[in-house]
Amino acid sequence: MQGLQIGMQAILDASSVTEEPDDAGPQSRLTKTQQSEVLQAIERQTVALSHCYRACMAAFKETTKATGHEYKFVKASKEARLLMGDLGSVAGGALHKYSNIEVDGGHVVAGNMEGQFAKDFF
């Protein structure tokens, strides 16, 4: 972003210099070639920034989707207390997958659990 601002400022400076008398010196002016190069650089940066923007927006869209975990081969025996899921509310809900869960006398909560209930449960 800073590169875009610098390039734009160089163009503005160059256009204001061209209206001044010729005694300003050759180093204070941008030639037409230099102006063209600055414009091309700005265009390339604009393209790069738009790619970055699209990538970020795609990532943000994924974060709004439901999340979750997969639980496999879990065994709760005797007096075990087990929570498989999330504590509190999960925005968008959470999708959990459970397979090969074995409970032999233990207490298992699968899914989401509110904080107060979890405190009492454990």
| Best-predicted range by mean pLDDT (6-15, 39-48, 86-95) | 39-48
Instruction: From 119, 57, 46, select the one nearest 87 (Cα to Cα).
Output: 119
**Amino acid 55: pLDDT:** 84
H helices present in the chain, as ranges? 2-17, 32-63, 115-121
Selected residue with higher pLDDT from 32 and 2: 32
Where is average pLDDT lowest: 9-23, 58-72, 105-119?
A: 9-23
Per-residue pLDDT, averaged over 114-121, amounts to 82
> Residues with Cβ < 8 Å from 112, sequence gap 6 or more?
85, 86, 87, 88, 89, 90, 94
Average pLDDT, the chain: 76
* pTM for this entry: 0.40
Q: Is 68:94 a contact under the CB 8 Å cutoff?
A: yes
